[in-house]
Homo-oligomer: A and B are copies of this chain.
Amino acid sequence: MKVSIRVLPAGRDLKVKVGANLREALIASGIALDSPCAGQGTCLKCQVKVAGVNQKLTAQEEEKLTEEELRDGWRLACQVTVEVPGAVSLPKIEALQAKVGFGLLGEEIPLLPNVRRRQFTLDKPALSDQRADWDCLADYLEGSEPGSVTAGLSLLQGISARLREQNFKGEAVMVGNNVAALDPPGSAAGVLGVAMDIGTTTLAVGLVDLDSGQVITLDAELNPQITFGADVISRILYMQESSEKRSQLQKELVKGLNQLLLRLCRNAGRARERIFEATVVGNTTMLHSLLGLDARHIAVAPYVGGLNRALCLPAEELGLQIHPRGRVHVLPSIASFVGADTVAVMLATRLSRADAPRLAIDIGTNGEVMLATPDGVFTASTAAGPAFEGGRIKYGMRAARGAVSSFQAVPSLDYTVIGGTVPRGICGSGLIDLVAELFRAGVLDCKGRMLLPSEAGSSLAAELTPRVRTRGESREFVIFQDGAAEVTITQQDVRELQLAKGAMRAGIELLMKEAGIGAGDLREILLSGVFGNYINRAKAVALGLIPPIPLERIHFIGGGAMDGALRALINLEERTRADQISVQVRHIELSGRPDFEETFLRHLALGE
């Protein structure tokens, strides 16, 4: 027997078998639920609010959830067995949304969009002027450039009725040289564009009024593909199993974007049909997945994808629900692991214009490193792994409610938790703080070994070493403990961070070597990426994650990729610049270099 379960806020009705596991039912129906513990009830990431369905709490839930959470109706989807009809509210991903920032507001971008309005007043048909309707409009719009304006079939099919309704006057909405719509004269309907940043984890969108160039609103959502693998490699592995699976991931992604656009436009009180253009950035794999391209060769040497150039295509061909004659402009990528998101960061930071060496780092599963010098721009991709995003970390989690996001050991142990709740896990910035501070305090030695009280010599460590304990064969440091609830960092977690840090720092070092400069030559370091904003600069330097330069020369640039996508939406010259960047940049393939391993091993150690 099946019962009906309404999923909120989407308002979708699922038919679910009685006895089914709620988490599995949600995932099976394509709803993105992050659940790294695979339904064991330990990661606490599949929290939902439940009405009806099954109100009996499991022991796991009673143990793991706080009183406040239980009172507010939070459950763990993995612990709920469907019994009766009901409703499930998915959490609003506030943390994700908060993370979408952009720096545009500080700088005026000249308005030169690809979407423009052109007013027209045509001569009415007469025996003395028998030009066909389209010919007459095209003549008008082309002026002194015959043949410069085009129209698609669907517009032509409606043009005769439309021109007569409007008494042969109105405004043509042009996307490039294509007439996409004919508005009545003096139409109040705006002309909108949307910038999209497609991340492995997060989809971010920004809505822009293309009449004014103003950003109306931003929003973000989990990439629904997340249920098919946490990182690009697992997505590629899934896609290459069959063309059906490749197509499935593409559809999930497009559906996710459409839902996000719907919410974005509803919240802004705008119509999706008034969006005439989308600019798209993202890592190379995500762009392949969006376009339905074969990504399997990205994952194996020599790491060559199907397409890095920019691509412009009809929104309808992708199934993107903007104006049916709207266009999608996908920005170019540089290499298989240096995508259009990196190009966008370079646009946003004007990195190509460096007159003194500047280093930019986009921190994520793949840390993209960019070094601009007067002699040119160099890029590399470092396989940092998922540690910075909470992957393979025992209590790792994204920067969401309950995450320890900063930590200090001296003068006294202190930490902050996102949302001010009890700690539930550790996000990337928290992890960096923890390792840097435990190293400074002597709980970790320079090789990253966690010291028991008997081994630690420092007096500082004396305050902290009692929190070091051994579980099984492994040591761990206890950050928080309240009954059964606890958050710890393990020896293995430290090793994971060392690997990530070593890979990223090695990439930076090799780029500087290639460009013939040292850390002292760097005018500035720019940090971007999903958690760039949360990093403590001093601790990142202390850890050795970034080269040692004065802290005032280290800057955060928020969601640089979204910034770049917005720029390309608002000003056509930015697209030309993106194309230039993508071909002029010198990409250094680290895996091809004999000096990589030695550099990597050297930077596994903590500190400089």
Contact = CB atoms under 8 A, between A and B. Distances in A.
Nearest to A136: B304
A591 B311 CA distance: 50
A425 interface: no
Contact of A131 (B131, B160, B304, B318): B304
A400 interface: no
A132 B305 contact: yes
A336 B291 contact: no
Nearest to A294: B160
Given A132-B304, A132-B307, A309-B138, A317 B153 contact: yes
Interface in A286-336: 291-294, 296-297, 301-309, 311, 313, 317-318, 333, 335-336
A180 to B, nearest CB: 16
A296 B589 contact: no
Nearest to A243: B157
A153 B309 CA distance: 13
Interface residues of A, number: 46
A592 B130 CA distance: 11
A313 B153 contact: yes
A313 B156 CA distance: 12
Interface in A110-150: 125-135, 138
Q: Which of A130, A135, A293, A297 lies at the interface centre, i.e. has the most chain B CB atoms within 10 A of its CB?
A: A130
Contact of A589 (B130, B135, B158): B130
A161 interface: yes
Nearest to A250: B157
Nearest to A310: B147
Interface in A270-291: 291
Nearest to A309: B135
Contact of A130 (B132, B157, B293, B587): B587
B125 A302 contact: yes
Interface string A370-395: 00000000000000000000000000
A277 B449 CA distance: 69
A538 interface: no
Contact of A133 (B130, B305, B333, B335): B305
A297 to B, nearest CB: 6
Contact of A306 (B132, B152, B291, B296): B132
Q: Which of A132, A134, A161 lies at the interface centre, i.e. has the most chain B CB atoms within 10 A of its CB?
A: A132
A304 B130 contact: yes
A159 interface: yes
A318 B154 CA distance: 11
Contacts of A294: 157-161
A293 B157 contact: yes
Contacts of A293: 156-157, 159-160
A133 B301 CA distance: 14
Contacts of A333: 132
Contacts of A587: 130
A155 B536 CA distance: 47
Nearest to A159: B306
7 contacts: A128-B592, A129-B302, A130-B303, A130-B587, A153-B291, A157-B291, A159-B306
The 4 closest A-B pairs by CB, nearest first: A127-B592, A125-B304, A132-B308, A160-B294
Interface of A: 125-135, 138, 152-153, 156-161, 291-294, 296-297, 301-309, 311, 313, 317-318, 333, 335-336, 587, 589, 591-592
Given A125-B304, A131-B304, 18 more contacts: A126-B302, A130-B302, A130-B304, A130-B587, A132-B307, A134-B309, A135-B308, A138-B309, A153-B291, A153-B317, A156-B291, A156-B311, A157-B293, A157-B294, A158-B294, A159-B294, A160-B297, A161-B294
